[in-house]
Each structure stands twice: as C-alpha cells, then as structure tokens.
Chains A and B, each alone.
Chain A
Amino acid sequence: GAVVSQHPSWVICKSGTSVKIECRSLDFQATTMFWYRQFPKQSLMLMATSNEGSKATYEQGVEKDKFLINHASLTLSTLTVTSAHPEDSSFYICSARVIRGVDETQYFGPGTRLLVL
C-alpha cells in the first residue's frame, strides 16, 4: 500500500501558540488529502479536504481561520492549529486519496497527538 507520514507524532504546547502538522505522501503523489480529528474512543471526524494548488474545503462547523490548511505540493499538506487552546487537544490524522482506475482508497498517516496546556 501507499505510505503516508505525519510529523510530529505528538506535540505539547502552551495555550495561545500555533502548531503546524505535516502530512506527506512518501511514494506517490496525492492531489487530494484529508484531515481528520479524533477524540478518545470516538470515530474520525472529517475536518477538511485539502486539494493541491487550491483552497481547502472545510466541513460544517470547522473554523477556517483556526485550522489553516495548505497543500503546496503533490506530496505535502500542512495543518496549522492557530492560537491553540486546551479544547483543541486531540488526535489529528491525515489521509491521502489514491485512485486506481475506478477504485480509490485512502491511506492514512500515523496521526499526531496534540496536547495544549
């Protein structure tokens, strides 16, 4: 399968600071990547769709100015949590869309655990 990396794997920061999370497709190009958020013992919640070279599409209820997404190249998408607060503490996970003919799959990164103090 395709390999997706995420960096950092975990981060602790002070309230009010910004945190950048990188998502990279290592052995393929991804025009579309997705960012999810997951709380303990819950399912994944899609935050936004990141398209290379264009603005991200955010899901309803997700603050665009708080969660900045940039997809500057075919192998890299970044999520910046601006002015982080304790309620932003969560597990953030990205995925990359792979299309093969009429089939497609999403391959996920290992996730980033964010703790805001």
Chain B
Amino acid sequence: AQKITQTQPGMFVQEKEAVTLDCTYDTSDPSYGLFWYKQPSSGEMIFLIYQGSYDQQNATEGRYSLNFQKARKSANLVISASQLGDSAMYFCAMKEGYNQGGKLIFGQGTELSVKP
C-alpha cells in the first residue's frame, strides 16, 4: 500500500492566485513528520515546510502553509499568491517514528505550472 499519495500529477494555477496541492498518508505510528519539498527543473530539492504529528497548529512558512488534518490523514500544501517561480515539481514526504533512522518516504509528486 502507498504510504504517501499525491493524486494530482499536474496542476495549473493563475499567477497571484492560491493553490492547494494534495497529500494523504498512511501510517500506524503515532509519531511521524510530514514534509514538503520543491524541485525546480534544475533538480535540487528545496525544503519548504514541516509538520510534526504532535504539532497542534498548522505549520506556516511565508507563502506556504500546511493544512494538516490528522483524522483524515491529509497534509495539503497551500501556496498563496502564486508566482511564476513557483512552477516546479512538489513532493510530499513522511518520516515515521522519532528514531527510525530518519528515512523519508516520498509521494509521486505534483507538477505545478503557474500561468502569467
């Protein structure tokens, strides 16, 4: 079974609008972390935002926020006021357990295209 699922292979958004990238996860471990990374065409993986399973509030980092719904096991990324430079692949990832070696499990990614 997929542990991290990103159901949107590709998304389009108009510049300056907000966009939500979906991510659902599956784990029985009560302690886990959820990450979002951006991968532009250059290939580097850029860390965007992190949410711990015990965090009470949704994580926010500038224009990025994570809509964490624990009961639904979803961790959607919201990008506000999209910019042309936001066009990239976006990966959701999960780390299970506090001390399980730190391995990340990645979703299949969503390719976001921002239209001018």
Bound form: Cα–Cα A52–B50 in Å: 25
Bound form: Cα–Cα A93–B107 in Å: 16
Q: Is the CB of B43 within 8 A of A111?
A: yes
Give A29-65 as 1s and 0s: 1 = Cβ < 8 Å from B's Cβ atoms: 0001010001000111010010000000100000000
Q: Is the CB of B47 within 8 A of A43?
A: no
Q: Which of B60-116 contact A (CB under 8 A)?
A: 91, 95, 98, 101-104, 106-109
A43 CB contacts on chain B under 8 angstroms:
91, 106-109
Most chain B Cβ neighbours within 10 Å, of A44, A102, A107, A108: A44
Count residues on chain A whose CB falls below 8 Å from chain B CBs. 26
- Closest CB of chain B to A35's CB: distance in Å? 12
A111 CB contacts on chain B under 8 angstroms:
43-45
Known interface pairs A103-B33, A110-B43. Does A44 touch B103 (Cβ–Cβ under 8 Å)? no
Bound form: Cα–Cα A111–B103 in Å: 18
In the complex, the number of residue pairs spanning A and B with C-beta atoms less than 8 Å apart equals 59
Cβ 8 A contact of A108, one of B47, B95, B101: B47
Bound form: Cα–Cα A64–B91 in Å: 27
Q: Is the CB of B101 within 8 A of A32?
A: yes
Bound form: Cα–Cα A106–B35 in Å: 9
Known interface pairs A46-B103, A104-B33. Does A1 touch B47 (Cβ–Cβ under 8 Å)? yes
Q: Is the CB of A49 within 8 A of B103?
A: yes
Bound form: Cα–Cα A49–B45 in Å: 18
Bound form: Cα–Cα A106–B104 in Å: 8
Q: Does A77 contact B (CB under 8 A)?
A: no
A57 CB contacts on chain B under 8 angstroms:
101
Q: Is the CB of A110 within 8 A of B50?
A: no
A1 CB contacts on chain B under 8 angstroms:
47
Bound form: Cα–Cα A106–B99 in Å: 14
B103 CB contacts on chain A under 8 angstroms:
34, 46, 49
Besides A32-B101, A49-B103, A103-B50, 10 more A-B contacts (Cβ < 8 Å) are: A32-B102, A34-B104, A46-B103, A46-B104, A93-B43, A103-B33, A103-B52, A105-B50, A106-B47, A110-B42
Report B's interface with A, CB cutoff 8 A.
33, 35, 37, 42-47, 50, 52, 91, 95, 98, 101-104, 106-109
